[in-house]
Structure 1
């Protein structure tokens, strides 16, 4: 069975002001909560860890005090 684009997680390279798509898909998975994040709604990630986060609160928790 072939997978449609909507059934596959994208692989991204996170940069300071955006990201580059390495493998196409329609979502990424939050590194902390496991929630699917549609690519068009992705706003929070960590460049050093190369991890996406579903919300600002989750990102703040994951990154800890700076």
Structure 2
């Protein structure tokens, strides 16, 4: 996701807030959002989901 699309997403969610409220949201959650959306973090989550599926869901799918 590029900076422009993040800005558009932010505006879609918080466009009805005042500029002061928007700034407070950016200060409180801006860094956390960047970390959560970091490509390496997303990759690790996907690997974990796949591993969980292979170990817990897929074996049950073959049962009658």
- TM-score (normalizing by structure 1): 0.20
User: Which has the larger helix fraction?
Assistant: 2
- TM-score (normalizing by structure 2): 0.20
User: Which has the larger strand fraction?
Assistant: 1
Instruction: With a CA cutoff of 8 Å and minimum separation of 6, indicate the structure with the bigger relative contact order.
Output: 1
